[in-house]
């Protein structure tokens, strides 16, 4: 299978990681060791410092490495710290940035139409993926409220874990056509099989959560899942390739 990881980062975190990977080169070495071909990546300074610090570090880190696609994080435009949509998309094209993230609690804003609606409307219209980690700076009720305002948003929910989170995300899969779930930490016996049976393989993306989780954990889980081979290929990388190709930058 061809693995394209939707959820990993590099950089040295402020708060502990068992084995941080400070550089993009280190990340690529670990990808090679595990057999991951490509990755959609972010820099931990986007969370631990701010997008104003982390986005440029990510851009510089991935510049020499075409296997890595960048994922910047957002800020509201009203404070003149972040570009308006047209300029943002131009910069994303220039710097090989394929998707966006948001850390609203850490960065001190509300993830809603009043605060950041100009960006969210443009992102939704252009089908640019927005990734949210429910273990980092956003809560489930905020995710539900966001989708109620922007129901066509291409949204990837990451790091949801295994204990009871289906009750939060399955209603979103059922209602909103462009919501996707990554596999990071989804260590639920029969979980992948059940999701594929109920919603199809097209709603799942391989994501490792590296370096806080191993690349190989969910690789092995997917490889041994009792689903068709074409479904495994789609989850391993095909779905992410399709989503990024659909984005109009």
**83-126, pLDDT tens digit by residue?**
999 999 999 999 999 999 999 999 999 999 999 999 999 999 99
φ, ψ of residue 87 to 5 degrees: the values are -70, -40
Is the pLDDT at 42 greater than 80? The verdict is: yes
Residues β-bridged to residue 69: 40
pLDDT score for 176:
98
Q: What is the pLDDT of residues 75-92, one digit of tens each?
A: 999 999 999 999 999 999
pLDDT score for 17:
60
Is residue 159 within 8 Å of residue 185, measured between CB atoms?
yes
pLDDT score for 15:
75
DSSP 108: T
Maximal CA-CA distance, the chain:
50
pLDDT score for 164:
74
Work out whether the CA dihedral 193, 137, 60, 15 comes out positive or negative.
negative
Is the pLDDT at 233 greater than 70? The verdict is: yes
For residue 29, give the nearest of 3, 47, 10 by alpha carbon. Answer: 10
Is residue 184 within 8 Å of residue 7, measured between CB atoms?
yes
Question: Which carries the bigger pLDDT value, residue 203 or residue 1?
Answer: 203
pLDDT score for 123:
98
Is the pLDDT at 182 greater than 90? The verdict is: yes
pLDDT score for 216:
95
User: What's the Rg (C-alpha) of the chain?
Assistant: 17
119: which 2 tokens? 């960006």
d(CA 210, CA 159): 11
Q: 111: phi > 0 → left, psi -120 to 50 → alpha, else beta; which?
A: beta
**What pTM value is reported for the model?**
0.96
Does the domain at 4-246 match CATH 1.20.58.100? Answer given as: no
Residue labelled with tokens 């016996």? 189
Domain-wise residue ranges, the chain = 4-246
Residue 15, number of CB atoms within 10 A of its CB: 7
φ, ψ of residue 128 to 5 degrees: the values are -85, 125
pLDDT score for 214:
92
Cis bond upstream, residue 48 (ω within 30): no
Mean pLDDT of 207-224: 94
What distances in angstroms separate CA 225 from CA 158, 165, 192, 209, 218, one per listed residue? 20, 20, 7, 19, 10
Per DSSP, helices labelled H in 4-158 are: 24-34, 45-48, 51-62, 85-95, 104-107, 113-126, 140-149
For residue 137, name the pLDDT band (cuts at 50, 70, 90): confident
């Amino acid at each position: 299978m061809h693995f394209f990881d939707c959820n990993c980062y590099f950089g040295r975190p402020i708060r502990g990681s068992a084995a941080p990977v400070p550089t993009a080169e280190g990340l690529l070495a670990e990808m090679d060791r595990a057999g991951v071909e490509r990755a959609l990546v972010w820099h931990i300074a986007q969370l631990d410092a701010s997008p104003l610090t982390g986005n440029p570090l990510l851009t510089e880190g991935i510049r020499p490495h075409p296997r890595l696609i960048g994922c910047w994080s957002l800020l509201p435009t009203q404070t003149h710290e972040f570009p308006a949509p047209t300029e943002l998309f131009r910069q994303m094209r220039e710097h090989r940035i394929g998707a966006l993230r948001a850390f609203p609690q850490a960065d001190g804003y509300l993830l809603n139409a009043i605060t950041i609606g100009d960006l969210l409307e443009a992102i939704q219209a252009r089908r640019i993926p927005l990734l949210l980690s429910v273990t980092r700076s956003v809560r489930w009720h905020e995710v539900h409220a966001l989708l109620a305002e922007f129901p066509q948003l291409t949204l990837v929910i990451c790091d949801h874990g295994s204990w009871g989170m289906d009750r939060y995300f399955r209603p979103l899969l059922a209602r909103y056509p462009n919501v996707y779930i990554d596999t990071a930490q989804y260590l639920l016996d029969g979980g992948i099989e059940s999701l594929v049976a109920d919603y199809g393989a097209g709603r799942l993306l391989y994501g490792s959560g590296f370096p806080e989780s191993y690349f190989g954990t969910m690789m092995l889980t997917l490889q041994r899942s009792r689903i068709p081979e074409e479904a495994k290929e789609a989850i391993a990388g095909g779905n992410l390739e399709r989503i990024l190709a659909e984005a109009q930058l």
